[in-house]
Amino acid sequence: MMSCELCGSSENLTQYAIAPEGAKSITVCEKCCKQIEKKEELDANHWTCLKDSMWSENPNVQVVAWRMLNRLKNETWAADAIDMMYLDEDLLAWAQATNDHLESDGNDMHRDCNGAILLAGDSVTLIKSLDVKGSSVQAKIGTAVRNIKLVHDNTEQIEGKIDGQQIVILTKYVKKS
């Protein structure tokens, strides 16, 4: 029976392609996948499973475990696990290639004015009337913006359509619907 190679769960399994190599993957559960892909906040209690899976003989599992442990390095148990874990030069270079391991504070997610996590495709409501630069359009307070897109290099910005015009909106002026 198949199970998540990180936590051992057998529910809602999928293949997770490991960047930047893409062709290499591991089997993970939905919860692990969402947290690896930063679509859900890290649940440190869930990731204590890494104390076992970090010893996997599968180098793909080792790379993902190393990245996740580094994202959780503020947890004492994760810092201890990192100190015990060994990756050879090639595996370590692969694990470090995306810099994904550097973002451990959870601030790398798009959040609305109330701190709720925003995902691509969500709907939001404006909490303030906004003038649209380069246009005579004013986005009124309470306007619903559906099917938002995330600005990948700036967590304080999203994109959405208002009156048929694609605009950039600051996340501090929206709340998730």
Q: What local confidence, expressed as pLDDT, does residue 117 receive?
A: 84
Q: What local confidence, expressed as pLDDT, does residue 41 receive?
A: 84
Q: What local confidence, expressed as pLDDT, does residue 98 receive?
A: 78
Choices 2.40.30.10, 3.90.780.10, 1.10.3720.10, 2.30.30.40: CATH for 124-176: 2.30.30.40
Q: What local confidence, expressed as pLDDT, does residue 175 receive?
A: 95
Amino acid at 67: R
Query: Domain locations in the chain?
Result: 13-102, 124-176
Strands (DSSP E) along 10-163, which ranges? 13-17, 25-29, 124-126, 130-131, 138-139, 144-145, 149-150, 157-162
Q: What local confidence, expressed as pLDDT, does residue 104 receive?
A: 45
Mean pLDDT by 10 residues, the chain (177 residues): 94 92 88 90 93 95 95 92 94 85 62 88 93 85 93 88 90 94
